[in-house]
């Protein structure tokens, strides 16, 4: 006779789970659990709070793989919107309803869909990692509904406004910088991180090899970071007039260096302060860009970044191939370029129709 009663030493661990639904739902859950057991995939519910987990995720998973500026953005976003309302909840008890409630409260505070969707992207990434680490069965952030994304209005100067703006900065210390921004379409962090070794005066090119990043933390400094994508690392041919402007700018910077003497900060930057120090985009905008807009009698709602949009818009409106524009901007795909600058497409379509008219219907006419 066999004893079917388990001994104390062999007593199996028993788990109880209440399934809200039909018997079929319960059977499905049980089948899944038994399958996981057979495969050796046993996930114990984690008792760690979401707040503590997010701290671990930031340091062990996020920080090693993202740039410092991005890491600080993640940190600030989670601190500002997630930790206080949801931080005390154990991640094993975190439900989609909790996350949905968080997004609803953010909407009630009139935060933009863009902020909510960015918060969701970071939180979902963190919880996805918890699933990989065996701390969760499923990512609850996958089950929530997000607010409809709002298309940000694209702002670009007209050709007449560009001429007025350049007239307003002509002869100032920032003239070459703003001309370069408009002539290349680089992002502010790209041209502010540009070094003289990146400029080839003989070939008339500028190469993007790095970006200038400023820490958002109080008292934080600056650093160089790698371009985000391989497409961001690119060499751009420069207009001959821009090459001459850069040569003049370099001579002026040499005079600054002589005046500064031993106090000169030699970082090799193309665009720097009078002492050779890096420039931040906010400081540049406040000291030079916004005052230039006022002098040119242009809307002060234009941002420094809009010089990049203006460059792209000018190219596309003049009939440049979108693929060429995408390469100059460092976009990962031409789809991104066409989607971002779709406001230019109607004029491009009119130009295409005019070309067809000329090629098909006017050939050989007197």
Residues 174 and 223 in one domain: yes
DSSP of 258-270, one letter per residue?
HHHGGG-----BS
Average pLDDT estimate for 166-195: 96
Residues 204 and 295 in one domain: yes
Q: Which pLDDT score is estimated for 20?
A: 64
Asked whether residue 152 is domain-assigned, the answer is no
Give CA angle at 223 (174, 207), nearest 5°: 60
Q: Which pLDDT score is estimated for 36?
A: 56
CB 155 within 8 A of CB 302: yes
307 confidence band (pLDDT: 50, 70, 90): very high
Of residues 48, 20, 53, 19, the one with CA closest to residue 33: 19
Helix (H) and strand (E) counts in the chain: 16, 5
* Res. 310: pLDDT tops 70: yes
- Higher pLDDT among residues 350 and 99, named by residue: 99
CATH classification at residue 58: 1.10.150.130
Average pLDDT estimate for 351-357: 78
Residues 263 and 128 in one domain: no
Task: Give the rounded percent of residues in the chain with a pLDDT score beyond 90.
Answer: 63
CATH classification at residue 245: 1.10.443.10
Last residue of a domain, one of 111, 143, 175: 143
DSSP of 295-312, one letter per residue?
HTT--TT--TTHHHHHHH
Mean confidence (pLDDT) of the chain: 86
Total length of the chain: 366
Residues 347 and 245 in one domain: yes
Say what the pTM is: 0.67
- Higher pLDDT among residues 123 and 352, named by residue: 123
Q: Which pLDDT score is estimated for 32?
A: 65
Last residue of a domain, one of 143, 175, 201: 143
Residues 312 and 178 in one domain: yes
Asked whether residue 10 is domain-assigned, the answer is no
Asked whether residue 365 is domain-assigned, the answer is no
Of residues 311, 180, 197, the one with CA closest to residue 248: 180
Asked whether residue 38 is domain-assigned, the answer is no
Distance CA 51, CA 65 (A): 21
Coil, strand, or helix at residue 239?
coil
* Res. 345: pLDDT tops 80: no
Asked whether residue 88 is domain-assigned, the answer is yes
Residues 112 and 233 in one domain: no
Residues 95 and 191 in one domain: no
Coil, strand, or helix at residue 221?
coil
Residues forming a β-bridge with 235: 207
The domain in which residue 85 lies consists of 50-143
* Res. 8: pLDDT tops 70: no
Residues 177 and 320 in one domain: yes
Residues 297 and 166 in one domain: yes
* Res. 198: pLDDT tops 50: yes
Q: Which pLDDT score is estimated for 33?
A: 60
Torsion of CA 52, 53, 55, 59, to 10 degrees: 140
Q: Which of 87-96, 140-149, 213-222, 308-317 has the lowest mean pLDDT?
A: 213-222
* Res. 6: pLDDT tops 70: no
* Res. 276: pLDDT tops 90: yes
Asked whether residue 33 is domain-assigned, the answer is no
Q: Which pLDDT score is estimated for 34?
A: 62
5 confidence band (pLDDT: 50, 70, 90): very low
Instruction: Provide the token pair at 178.
Output: 């703003």
Instruction: Please state the domain count of the chain.
Output: 2
Of residues 49, 58, 46, the one with CA closest to residue 125: 58
CB 198 within 8 A of CB 312: no
* Res. 78: pLDDT tops 80: yes
Residues 105 and 199 in one domain: no
Radius of gyration in angstroms for the set of CA atoms belonging to the chain, rounded to a whole number: 29
Kind and range of the H or E run holding 225: strand 222-225
Residues 187 and 322 in one domain: yes
Asked whether residue 360 is domain-assigned, the answer is no
Instruction: Provide the token pair at 279.
Output: 């420039």
Average pLDDT estimate for 75-89: 95
Residue 259: partners with Cβ closer than 8 Å, 6 or more residues away: 274
Residues 179 and 276 in one domain: yes
Instruction: Provide the token pair at 234.
Output: 């690119």
pLDDT tens digit string along 138-177? Answer: 999 999 999 987 666 678 999 999 999 999 999 999 999 9
1 confidence band (pLDDT: 50, 70, 90): very low
* Res. 11: pLDDT tops 50: no
* Res. 273: pLDDT tops 60: yes
């Amino acid at each position: 006779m066999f004893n079917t009663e388990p001994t104390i030493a062999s007593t199996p661990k028993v788990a109880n789970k209440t399934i809200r639904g039909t018997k079929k739902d319960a059977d499905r859950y049980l089948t899944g659990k038994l399958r996981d057991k057979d495969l050796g995939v046993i996930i114990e519910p984690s008792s760690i709070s979401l707040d503590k987990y997010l701290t671990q995720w930031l340091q062990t998973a996020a920080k090693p793989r993202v740039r410092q500026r991005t890491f600080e953005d993640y940190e600030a976003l989670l601190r500002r919107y997630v930790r206080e309302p949801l931080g005390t909840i154990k991640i094993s008890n975190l439900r989609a309803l909790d996350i949905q409630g968080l997004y609803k409260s953010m909407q009630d505070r009139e935060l933009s869909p863009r902020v909510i969707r960015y918060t969701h992207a970071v939180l979902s990434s963190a919880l996805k990692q918890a699933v990989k680490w065996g701390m969760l069965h499923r990512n609850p952030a996958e089950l929530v509904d997000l607010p409809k994304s709002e298309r940000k209005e694209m702002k670009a100067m007209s050709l007449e406004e560009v001429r007025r703006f350049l007239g307003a900065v002509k002869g100032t210390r920032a003239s070459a910088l703003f001309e370069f921004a408009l002539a290349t379409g680089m992002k502010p962090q790209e041209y502010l991180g540009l070094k003289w070794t990146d400029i080839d005066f003989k070939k008339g090119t500028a190469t993007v090899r790095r970006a200038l990043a400023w820490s958002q933390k109080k008292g934080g400094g600056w650093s160089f970071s790698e371009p985000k994508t391989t497409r961001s690392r690119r060499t751009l041919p420069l207009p001959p007039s821009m090459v001459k402007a850069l040569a003049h700018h370099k001579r002026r910077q040499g005079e600054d260096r002589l005046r500064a003497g031993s106090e000169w900060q030699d970082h090799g930057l193309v665009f720097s302060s009078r002492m050779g120090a890096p420039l931040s985009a906010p400081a540049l905008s406040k000291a030079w860009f916004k005052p230039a807009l006022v002098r040119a009698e242009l809307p002060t709602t234009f941002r420094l970044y809009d010089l990049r949009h203006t460059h792209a818009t000018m190219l596309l409106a003049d009939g440049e191939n979108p693929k060429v524009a995408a390469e100059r901007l460092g976009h990962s795909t031409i789809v991104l370029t066409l989607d971002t600058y779709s406001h230019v497409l109607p004029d491009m379509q009119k130009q295409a129709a005019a070309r067809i008219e000329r090629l098909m219907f006017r050939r050989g006419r007197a």
